[in-house]
Structure 1
Amino acid sequence: MPDYKTKFNQSWLNKLDSNGNSVKTWLKQGSSETTFICTICRTGDLDCSNKGWKAVEQHMQNEKHKNNLNALKNNSQLTFSISATTSSTSSTHTIQLVDPNKPLLFDDQVSQAEILWALKSVQDAFSYKNSDDVGELFRTMFPDSKIAQKFSIQHSKMSYVISHGLGPYFRDLLIKDIKNCERFVLCFDEQTNNQNKKQLDLYFRYWSSQKGLVVTRYYRTILLDHAQANVVVDGILGTFRTDGIDISKLLMLSRDNPNVNKTVEKMINDAMKKVNAELLNIGTCNLHVIHNGFKAGTTETNWHVENFCMNIWSWFQKSPARQEDFENIVDELNEAIKKTILYFSSTRWVLLGKVIDQVL
Structure 2
Amino acid sequence: MRARREQLILPISAVCAAAPPPPPPQISATVGLLANATAPATSDLRVAMGATPTLRAEALWCLNTAVKHHSLNSNEGISELFKEMFPDSDIAKSFTCGKDKTGYIIRFGLASFFKKQLVDGINKAGPFVLMFDESLNQASKKKQLDIHVRYWEDDRVQSRYFGSQFLGHGRAEDLLHHIK
**Amino acid in the other structure paired with 1:216:** S
Give CA deviations for 1:51-109 in whole Å, capped at 9, x if unaligned.
xxxxxxxxxxxxxxxxxxxxxxxxxxxxxxxxxxxxxxxxxxxxxxxxx89xx5xx711
Query: Which residue pairs with 2:120 in the alignment?
Result: 176
Query: Which residue pairs with 1:122 in the alignment?
Result: 66
**Amino acid in the other structure paired with 1:225:** G
Distance 1:120 1:187 in 2: 29
Q: 1:192 to 1:158 in 2, by over 3 A?
A: farther
Give CA deviations for 1:183-233 in whole Å, capped at 9, x if unaligned.
222232222332222221111122224xx5432222122111122343223
TM-score (norm 2): 0.64
**Amino acid in the other structure paired with 2:133:** D
Higher relative CO (CA 8 A, sep ≥ 6), structure 1 or 2?
2
Alignment pair present for 1:221 and 2:164: yes
Deviation at 1:114, TM superposition (A): 0.7
Distance 1:186 1:134 in 2: 40
SS of 1:158's partner is helix
**Amino acid in the other structure paired with 1:148:** A
Distance 1:146 1:171 in 2: 32
Hey, which of these two has a bigger chunk of strand by percent? 2
Alignment pair present for 1:204 and 2:180: no
Query: Which residue pairs with 1:91 in the alignment?
Result: none
Alignment pair present for 1:136 and 2:89: no
1:91-170 to structure 2, matched below 5 A, reads 108-170=52-114
SS of 2:118's partner is helix
**Amino acid in the other structure paired with 1:218:** Y
Instruction: Count matched residues.
Output: 132
Is there any run of 5+ residues in structure 2 with no aligned partner, and where?
A: 1-45
Distance 2:134 2:84 in 1: 44
**Amino acid in the other structure paired with 1:185:** V
Let me know the Cα RMSD of the aligned residues: 2.2
Distance 2:64 2:134 in 1: 28
Distance 2:71 2:58 in 1: 15
Deviation at 1:144, TM superposition (A): 2.1
1:162-311 to structure 2, matched below 5 A, reads 162-193=106-137, 194-209=139-154, 213-236=156-179, 238=180
Distance 1:135 1:191 in 2: 39
Distance 1:137 1:214 in 2: 44
SS of 2:52's partner is helix
Deviation at 1:136, TM superposition (A): 1.7
Is there any run of 5+ residues in structure 1 with no aligned partner, and where?
A: 1-99, 239-360
Deviation at 1:148, TM superposition (A): 1.2
Larger radius of gyration: 1
**Amino acid in the other structure paired with 2:89:** S
Distance 2:142 2:102 in 1: 23
Percent of matched pairs sharing the same residue: 36
Q: 1:180 to 1:137 in 2, by over 3 A?
A: same
Distance 1:132 1:145 in 2: 20
**Amino acid in the other structure paired with 2:175:** V
Deviation at 1:116, TM superposition (A): 0.9
TM-score (norm 1): 0.34
Distance 2:60 2:161 in 1: 20
